[in-house]
Amino acid sequence: MRNYGFTVSYDGSRYEGWQRQTRTKETIQGKLEETLEKVTGEKGQVIGAGRTDAGVHALGQYANVHLEGPYPAEKLEDAWNRALPDDISIHRLEEKEDRFHSRFSARTKHYRYRIRMSSEKDVFARRYVWQLGEKLDVDAMRKGAALLLGTHDFTSFCGNRHMKKSAVRTVEDIVLTEEKGELHLDFWGDGFLQNMIRIMVGTLVEIGEGKREADSIPSVFEAKDRSGAGFTAPPQGLCLVEVIY
């Protein structure tokens, strides 16, 4: 068996998330595996570094797959891309060591969330930006973001209320940047729970709207209850930018 690693970019607008499902064929993992079988005749399991939610995008998702092969990397990448739909693309396909695992080998994941604060809409970016259309108190949001940093139990920021595994995660950095009427929130961490970034964004937006105090974040952690955090921000503003190994 050969282990192939590659970067995946996708527009998640029409997909039900990354993970293959029995009830629908419209998933990123499902499309990758379906087209890979057409190209190679092999049923390979494509393992992603992160399981993005429905409607969430990726510039730099990373994945790997074990195949009998061998296949020349350049030819496999070309044939696979030709078989994929126009909203999914793979890049830099290469052979990796057998023990490499896209999820377990990852050290840091970088996500970006985009919010349009101005009333002037960017109609061509509507699939990739939350068109909020209101000014936020960004300084207050930065104070709240600083309290989200570090290693915590993020149960209150998890969309899966029945999750039995540990909710302890480390958020390494959160950077808020204003650019041409948009607010970009960049998150770096060792891993993120279901809906975790979108719930953190919703919580920070409530702070920016004056509906919640920045110093309320510690009490949200202590509650260990989803109802203590803010709402879940829409999926289209979120993008997996890069996975760092």
pLDDT tens digits in sequence order for the chain, 245 residues long:
999 999 999 999 999 999 998 888 899 999 999 999 999 999 999 999 999 999 999 999 999 999 998 999 999 999 999 999 999 999 999 999 999 999 999 999 999 999 999 988 888 999 999 999 999 999 999 999 999 999 999 999 999 887 778 999 999 999 999 988 999 999 999 999 999 999 999 999 999 999 999 999 999 999 999 999 999 999 999 999 999 99
Same domain, 25 and 122: no
What CATH number did the domain enclosing 172 receive? 3.30.70.660
**132/114 Cα distance (integer angstroms):** 10
* Annotated catalytic residue, options 11, 53, 153, 186: 53
Given 30, 61, 96, the domain boundary residue is 96
Q: Which of 185, 195, 190 lies closest to 233, judged by CA?
A: 195
Same domain, 132 and 83: no
Same domain, 119 and 91: no
Same domain, 83 and 59: yes
Given 69, 96, 123, the domain boundary residue is 96
- The domain of 150 spans 108-244
Same domain, 85 and 170: no
Same domain, 24 and 140: no
Does residue 86 have an active-site annotation? no
**77/164 Cα distance (integer angstroms):** 38
Same domain, 140 and 181: yes
* Number of folded domains that form the chain: 2
- 238 strand-pairing partners: 113
Is residue 90 one of the residues assigned to a domain?
Answer: yes
Whether pTM > 0.85 for this model: the answer is: yes
Is residue 102 one of the residues assigned to a domain?
Answer: no
Tokens found for residue 74: 């350049």
Angle between helices 73-83 and 28-40 (to 10 degrees): 120
Given 96, 125, 152, the domain boundary residue is 96
